[in-house]
Structure 1
């Protein structure tokens, strides 16, 4: 009998409307994809960080967003979230070695992207589009699979 093992590299893409439920839909998609591909080791951190990026896309833009999950092999996963804003927030606007200071204790926000610093192995961001013709937004991404959340 021949069995077929699923490939260790794969890609899922999902277009998300500008809707307050988009983060929940993204979490459900992450959970289904990672469970379906036998990647429970990165599930919790991926779900958390994806939720943060999709929530920021909803809060800071007026348009849709897109989610892309890419299995890189060896248990590593890259997650990208595109949105229509050209602004690349810290820590995505700096090399991964540069750290953003924690938000003040009384701040109402500013902690989500700090989670990316603590939990992702690497991250980045870049503008999408051509400034001569108007920006098409940005892509923020992170990779996990090398150890999970840690204090830095």
Structure 2
């Protein structure tokens, strides 16, 4: 069993917020508004631009490739690091999240004609670390997946 003394907890503040999102095209906008408020409340506005891009792409991916609700989780890791994760009911881990963080070569650009396929590559480019894994259980009792990324200031 791992124990943590109260002084260690105070030295590295952590917090988490969870936002349930219905399957709605407005979900990414709602996630951005929530993210701005959370980062401002915790004095982490320096992460806002990158974190908004990351959260938008993850939430949009959940909306486009799943038929049900999604869950956004924001977690502060210390004073200047943020983990953004999104759960959805589709268990398929899309590329490049099906590979280990840092083990892919990002394409220089996407085809001009392509209607999609850029968002998760942007996440991998702007995030310091990222990953994805299938879940055997979820908030709604099913499976699904969790895609996550971290950004620091």
Please classify the TM superposition score into its range, dividing by the shorter chain length: 0.7 to 0.9
Contact 2:53–2:123 (CA<8 Å) still a contact in 1? no
Q: Which residue of 1 aligns with 2:16?
A: 11
Corresponding residue number in structure 1 for 2:127: 120
- List alignment gaps of at least 5 residues for structure 1: 147-152
Match of 2:115 in 1: 108
Mapped pair 1:27 → 2:32: yes
Residue 103 of structure 1: how far off its partner (Å): 2.6
Look up the match of 1:64.
Answer: 69
Q: Is the 2:74–2:82 Cα contact (8 Å) retained in structure 1?
A: yes
Kept in 1, the 8 Å contact 2:102–2:129? The answer is no
Number of the residue aligned with 1:149: none
TM-align CA RMSD: 1.9
Counterparts of 2:30 and 2:132 in 1: how far apart (Å)? 22
- 2:57 is the counterpart of 1:49: no
CA contact (8 A) 2:83 2:150 kept: yes
Shift in Å, 1:96? 1.4
Question: 4+ residue runs of structure 1 moved beyond 6 angstroms?
Answer: none
Task: Specify the SS of the correspondent of 1:129.
Answer: coil
Counterpart residue number, 2:90: 85
Question: Which one of the candidate residues 138, 141, 145 is aligned to 2:148?
Answer: 141
Across the two proteins, how many residue pairs are aligned to each other? 138
Relative to structure 2, which stretch is displaced further, 28-37 or 92-101? 92-101
Where does structure 2 lack aligned partners over 5 or more consecutive residues?
1-9
TM-score, normalised by the number of residues in structure 1? 0.84
SS at match of 1:87: coil
CA shift for structure 1 position 37 = 0.5
Kept in 1, the 8 Å contact 2:70–2:86? The answer is yes
